[in-house]
Structure 1
Amino acid sequence: MNKRFFSVIAFIALFVSFLGLPLVSQADDKTPEGELRVGMEAGYAPFNWTQKDDRNGAVQIQGDKSYAGGYDVEIAKRIADKMNRKLVIVKTEWDGLLPALQSGKIDAVIAGMSPTEERRKEIDFSDDYYESQLVIITRKDSKYAKATSLKDFSGAKITAQLSTFHYGVIDQIPNVNKQQAMDNFPAMRVALESGTIDGYVGERPEGVTVESVNPDLNMVEFPEGQGFQTNPEDVQVSVGMRKGDPLLSEVNQVLSTISADERTDIMDQAIKNQPASEESTTESGKQENVFIRILKQNGMMFLRGTGMTLLLAIVGTTVGTGIGLLIGVFRTIPESKNSAKRGMQKVVGWLLNAYIEIFRGTPMIVQSAVIYYGIAMAFGIDLNRTAAALFIVSINTGAYMSEIVRGGIYSVDKGQFEAAHAIGMTHGQTMSKVVLPQVLRNILPATGNELVINIKDTSVLSIISVSELFFQGKSAAGTNYLFFQTYFIICVIYFVLTFSATRLLRLVEKKMDGPDAYARLEETDVAIEADK
């Protein structure tokens, strides 16, 4: 039964890996000649967003079947066209844009980024390609909706996006209740709608979009002299490039050919074309159910994200369990009488302990950034992001599984080790024939728990541009502005995945134990209830 069970598990892992090969084959090699790889969130409408097809000139996202559209995409298209290069859009989390640029994963950041003094220390910026004004987005029923100056927001709970100058200007509001910065605009919009905050700082295009798609939200603009005091570079939006990149002069030359009127027309058209502005109705003329509309617009995105999440979770858990078993077996090897071998055992043991402590003691999101971006920056090794994600999940899981396996080995009675040795079995035979079959059964519930954890924790891999389920959901919410509804759908999908995984593992446990074990367990439960 055990051999057949593990054969089935191996087949499932191999099958899922096979399904993921097209994704893995999207190699993140150094930029080929004739390409311009541009990084953006694809979730900050109207500057950039994600959609399901190429209407209105959208460009396909690298390694995905979705497309990116918006003001940033139109500017990027003009730059790539004038430079005779093929535009490649690399969908990247906001916090991952600078590391991706510095490590060579992308050639430019065109994502509504302002050339602040802090950022100029890390990267170079082009001339501006858009200039906007700061506004505060609040609820229409809020007492702050009719504010005309910053002092009217005294006492308000205000926030802004993490790692942007927007967060710093909040201090200009008298007696403001400054909230913790949030990592993206969808999160801030959800917080605003739920009443957690009273408003957030953004740019005018964001405010215009919010007002057009959500009647409950309101953009507060300030008369001259009553709003935020900013430096010109703060309200400008520029193309970010690596320090000393010779292409910067070409980018500036292209931007100089785009007039102010043309830029305004591009932005107006972007606001008009964004998916959130679409209203769906049925054939009878009634408004279409919002959940159906979200699934129609983003269903394939969610499906691909689900597939990537399962790929990472199943393969990562399987490989991690294998790593844990190897480490567990190594730890049971008797100490060699040979001094050289004994010394080698201690060195390897120390290294394994260091590996376990490091990967159990640091968050997976940090491990992802260090491995994916750090290796590229330090050694010039450009990892495929899906392969890197599989590696990260596997070694992270392996660190946890090694301790679980250790506990499983200790749970086996020492008498069985002694009995096996007494009949002449070697240590290897004892482990493979006597101990490990019991260990595998004992650790199965904990292994299932690791699988469930991995299904959920793969969401942090968006930091390295892996389009798993949560990243796809966040992109959709940032595009359609239907935050609660979109995240509710994502929540349901996660629940279905985790619930199905636990049910399947319970069936596996039942098969391994046999029906008699469960019959005895039920009889025991009945007896206990009778005693009560």
Structure 2
Amino acid sequence: MKKLLLPCLLAFLWLFGNSTSVKADEYLRVGMEAAYAPFNWTQNNDSNGAVPIEGSKQYANGYDVQIAKKIAKGMNKKLLVVKTKWDGLLPALTSKKIDLIVAGMSPTEERKKEINFSNSYYTSEPVLVVKSDGKYADAKNLSDFSKAKVTAQQGVYLYDLIDQIPDASKQTAMGDFAQMRQALSAGVIDAYVSERPEALTAENTSSDFKMIELDKGFTTNPSDTALAVGLRKDDTATLTKVNEILATIPKKDRLELMDKMIKQQPGSQKSTGFIGQAWTIFKENWSQFLRGTGITLLISVIGTLVGTIIGLLIGVYRTAPVADNKVLALLQKTFGWILNVYIEVFRGTPMIVQAMVIYYGTAQAFGVSLDRTLAAIFIVSINTGAYMSEIVRGGIFAVDKGQFEAATALGFNHGQTMRKIVLPQVIRNILPATGNEFVINIKDTSVLNVISVVELYFSGNTVATQTYKYFQTFLIIAVIYFILTFTVTRILRYVERRFDQDNYTQGGAH
């Protein structure tokens, strides 16, 4: 185990040794997706005024970033972007993981119940995005989209606008614009409702997409089309300061800034065929894929090791004899009940929900701010521990009762019996199940993107939003996942074979 833990610790130091260090009084932490060009996007350098993304070696740029820079400058702070999934922005703000939301968010009545909003810093115009060679490429009015399969981003006013399209087939809302572009490319949907800058970006970046500006468009409310900065309810001083700073930016300058960001947004890959495009994406972004793979392995290796240790400890405890002392017996029973609750809760709820509750919930309820990656390791460890405890219990029950009786007859106590007789057999018996749990953890780390852990899926999704080549990018991710799981499976099979080689010395007659 020491041989396994040392490389993990070294990898941890290598991966995070150069991460951005944040001081609350020095930085203004602003949350955004960094995947919604031209409002915000991710890039690999600090060109064109990009700023660092917390916990990574990447940078964020876009209209939102430049507005946030002006706010940070007015507050005498440095800007630090905290890359966060759209669904996690409000929890991140209310749990004080970030100071502001500058992410193209509209101050709807529902959101105003949770957070405060500044004055508007941009007014959006809703449009539709379709395939450039599709049946809706020449649409002029909402009625032209009758029977069309239309969707929009989950949790935004754009999704409600679909109801204004006569007889439209309203599809399930999607998590982000990357998913919608992918669905549109695949023909899963016919169109998605967007804002003009994003639609213009999609059209300019990929020839597959076309923006439809309607002669008679959607009816909207000012509170929906206005974009504003999100702040915590109790942060009135910052709200006043932000409004003062925004008031110094003329409307003309805001429009010019948006035009500038549209020109500076990431470009598209040259068309060289599917495989050629995939190879180009890998060559230009291999460092992102490597870092994401390293984080995935780090989380899954440590999570599996710690989870197995937790499972072994629980398994040993649950098979311990009841204490003779009534008080100790009551405490033992109570602790056993707590362990049962832990096992049932973590085996009965999805890891994605556990991640949201543990990462954001603990900060909001108890003021405990966890590092994303450390939180991810903790989540995977305790989740694995719940499953491994049942696997270990089955492994202990598989040991013949006669061995327990023989150990008792030899004067062994419960701890000695477990340590010297039972556990060596249990570890051998549960090795295949432990290996399977390791493989599952490698794949399940992808759900941790909900708390913006920069693992393999998160890194690949970032590349996809930069290149607009979704199938090619996810093919690369799939190949990397397969290589990881295939290699791990082969190594574990080798270890199992080594354990199965029983070498006995047969003594001759004397």
* 1:388 alignment partner in structure 2: 375
Q: Is the 8 A contact 1:280 1:288 kept in 2?
A: no
**How far 1:497 sits from its partner (Å)?**
0.9
Q: Is 2:101 the partner of 1:109? A: yes
* 2:355 alignment partner in structure 1: 368
**Aligned partner (choices 43, 63, 88) of residue 80 of structure 2:** 88
* 2:223 alignment partner in structure 1: 233
**Aligned-pair identity (%):** 58
* 1:5 alignment partner in structure 2: none
* 1:491 alignment partner in structure 2: 478
**Aligned partner (choices 106, 117, 139) of residue 147 of structure 1:** 139
**How far 1:34 sits from its partner (Å)?**
3.0
Which whole-Å CA distance do the structure 2 matches of 1:317 and 1:287 have between them?
Answer: 36
Which whole-Å CA distance do the structure 2 matches of 1:26 and 1:454 have between them?
Answer: 26
Deviations 1:350-403 (A, max 9, x none): 000000000111111111111111111111121222211111110011000000
5 Å-filtered alignment, 1:193-272, equals 193-223=185-215, 226-245=216-235, 246-272=237-263
**Aligned partner (choices 47, 65, 82) of residue 39 of structure 2:** 47
**Alpha-carbon distance change, 247 to 25 in structure 1, aligned in 2, over 3 angstroms:** farther
Which whole-Å CA distance do the structure 1 matches of 2:269 and 2:473 have between them?
Answer: 16
Deviations 1:304-339 (A, max 9, x none): 111111111000000000000000000111112221
Q: Is the 8 A contact 1:131 1:235 kept in 2?
A: yes
SS in 2 for 1:289: helix
The number of aligned residues is 503
**Aligned partner (choices 316, 321, 346) of residue 334 of structure 1:** 321
* 2:278 alignment partner in structure 1: 291
5 Å-filtered alignment, 1:128-167, equals 128-167=120-159
Q: Is the 8 A contact 1:36 1:88 kept in 2?
A: yes
**Alpha-carbon distance change, 64 to 30 in structure 1, aligned in 2, over 3 angstroms:** closer
**How far 1:26 sits from its partner (Å)?**
8.7
| TM-score where L is the length of structure 1 | 0.91
Instruction: Give unpaired runs (5+ residues) of structure 1.
Output: 1-8, 518-532
SS in 1 for 2:56: coil
SS in 2 for 1:14: helix
SS in 1 for 2:399: coil
Which whole-Å CA distance do the structure 2 matches of 1:476 and 1:516 have between them?
Answer: 52
**How far 1:15 sits from its partner (Å)?**
1.7
Which whole-Å CA distance do the structure 2 matches of 1:385 and 1:505 have between them?
Answer: 29
SS in 2 for 1:130: strand
SS in 2 for 1:247: helix
Deviations 1:27-68 (A, max 9, x none): 999962132100111111111111111111111111100111
**Alpha-carbon distance change, 24 to 340 in structure 1, aligned in 2, over 3 angstroms:** farther
For 1:293, give the aligned amino acid: T
Q: Is the 8 A contact 2:19 2:54 kept in 1?
A: no
Q: Is the 8 A contact 2:354 2:379 kept in 1?
A: yes
Deviations 1:96-129 (A, max 9, x none): 1110000101000111111111111111111111
Which whole-Å CA distance do the structure 2 matches of 1:466 and 1:395 have between them?
Answer: 17
* 2:300 alignment partner in structure 1: 313
Q: Is 2:485 the partner of 1:505? A: no
Instruction: Give unpaired runs (5+ residues) of structure 2.
Output: 505-510
Q: Is the 8 A contact 1:112 1:238 kept in 2?
A: yes
Q: Which moved more, 1:490-499 or 1:260-269?
A: 260-269
* 1:479 alignment partner in structure 2: 466
For 1:249, give the aligned amino acid: T
**How far 1:486 sits from its partner (Å)?**
0.9
SS in 2 for 1:138: strand
Name the Cα RMSD after superposition: 2.1
**Aligned partner (choices 259, 264, 267) of residue 276 of structure 1:** 267
**Alpha-carbon distance change, 316 to 335 in structure 1, aligned in 2, over 3 angstroms:** same
Q: Is the 8 A contact 1:147 1:153 kept in 2?
A: yes
Q: Is 2:392 the partner of 1:402? A: no
Q: Is the 8 A contact 2:311 2:388 kept in 1?
A: yes
**Alpha-carbon distance change, 91 to 83 in structure 1, aligned in 2, over 3 angstroms:** same
For 1:177, give the aligned amino acid: S
For 2:488, give the aligned amino acid: A
* 2:507 alignment partner in structure 1: none
Which whole-Å CA distance do the structure 2 matches of 1:482 and 1:265 have between them?
Answer: 29
Deviations 1:183-239 (A, max 9, x none): 11111111111111111111111111111122122111112xx21111112112111
* 1:13 alignment partner in structure 2: 5
Q: Is the 8 A contact 1:60 1:68 kept in 2?
A: yes
| TM-score where L is the length of structure 2 | 0.94
Q: Is 2:359 the partner of 1:359? A: no
Deviations 1:129-150 (A, max 9, x none): 1112111111122221111111
**How far 1:277 sits from its partner (Å)?**
4.3
Q: Is the 8 A contact 1:27 1:385 kept in 2?
A: no
**Alpha-carbon distance change, 122 to 320 in structure 1, aligned in 2, over 3 angstroms:** same
Q: Is the 8 A contact 1:44 1:479 kept in 2?
A: no
**Aligned partner (choices 122, 127, 130) of residue 114 of structure 2:** 122
* 2:508 alignment partner in structure 1: none
Q: Which moved more, 1:368-377 or 1:100-109?
A: 368-377
Deviations 1:435-483 (A, max 9, x none): 1111101111111111111111111112222111111111221222111
**How far 1:423 sits from its partner (Å)?**
2.3
For 2:233, give the aligned amino acid: K
**How far 1:255 sits from its partner (Å)?**
1.4
For 1:229, give the aligned amino acid: T
* 1:470 alignment partner in structure 2: 457
Q: Which moved more, 1:377-386 or 1:196-205?
A: 377-386
Q: Is the 8 A contact 2:117 2:228 kept in 1?
A: yes
Q: Is the 8 A contact 2:442 2:485 kept in 1?
A: yes
* 1:521 alignment partner in structure 2: none
* 1:33 alignment partner in structure 2: 25
SS in 1 for 2:193: strand
Which whole-Å CA distance do the structure 2 matches of 1:173 and 1:515 have between them?
Answer: 72
